[in-house]
Amino acid sequence: MFFVIGLLIAAGLAAFVATPLLSREGAASASLPVDVTPMADLARRRLVVYENLKDLEFEYQAGKVAAQDYQNLKQNYLGEAAMLMAASQEAEHLKETDALLEREIAARRALRKNLPPQDYVCPRCGFENPVPVKFCGECGARIANRPSIT
Ligand SMILES: [Zn+2]
């Protein structure tokens, strides 16, 4: 339990320290090729952290690193790894939410095709809502959203 709390604090500190660095990277990423996705970038940085951690372990075992330095460096790397892990989980979650919204909108668009215009065209301002809605997206007026009586 204490280990987890320590890790969370380390992650928080790493996030705080890395923030100016990250925002600078973000500004530069506008000129990067399209296939460098945030997910791929996070995975690559996580790999680097794990690689460093492995090297550190190796050098400590070989007696090249003092115990205090080893502990400090290890805490840093673990904190960074935890932060990157949380960041990629966040990115994954956002991607899922986006996909869900896309499906919802696609379903509503398909529905609209089979509906008469009074179900999505506003009677007050004439705005054509992109999907069938109860209230106009432009002026907020109620849209008669019932099957028409024939
Ligand atoms: Zn309207």
Confidence of residue 150 (pLDDT cuts 50, 70, 90): very low
Tell how far the Cα of 144 is from the centroid of ligand 1, in angstroms. Answer: 12
Tell how far the Cα of 142 is from the centroid of ligand 1, in angstroms. Answer: 8
Kind and range of the H or E run holding 149: none
Rounded-to-integer distance, Cα 67 and Cα 99, Å: 48
What is the pLDDT averaged over residues 57-82? 94
Tell how far the Cα of 129 is from the centroid of ligand 1, in angstroms. Answer: 9
Average pLDDT, the chain: 79
The reported pLDDT for the residue numbered 8 is 65
- Nearest-CA neighbor of 104 among 142, 78, 123, 130? 130
Tell how far the Cα of 132 is from the centroid of ligand 1, in angstroms. Answer: 13
Q: Which residues pair with 128 in a beta bridge?
A: 121
Helix 67-113 to helix 38-61 angle (10° resolution) is 160
Contacts of residues 131-134 at CB distance under 8 Å and 24 or more positions apart, as own/partner, are 131/105, 132/108
Rounded-to-integer distance, Cα 39 and Cα 96, Å: 13
User: Is the per-residue pLDDT at 66 higher than 70?
Assistant: yes
Rounded-to-integer distance, Cα 78 and Cα 85, Å: 10
User: How many C-beta atoms surround the C-beta of residue 41 within 10 A?
Assistant: 17
The reported pLDDT for the residue numbered 27 is 47
User: Is the per-residue pLDDT at 79 higher than 60?
Assistant: yes
User: Is the per-residue pLDDT at 24 higher than 60?
Assistant: no
Confidence of residue 149 (pLDDT cuts 50, 70, 90): very low
Tell how far the Cα of 141 is from the centroid of ligand 1, in angstroms. Answer: 5
Confidence of residue 91 (pLDDT cuts 50, 70, 90): confident
Confidence of residue 58 (pLDDT cuts 50, 70, 90): very high
Whether the CB-CB separation of 141 and 122 falls below 8 Å is answered with yes
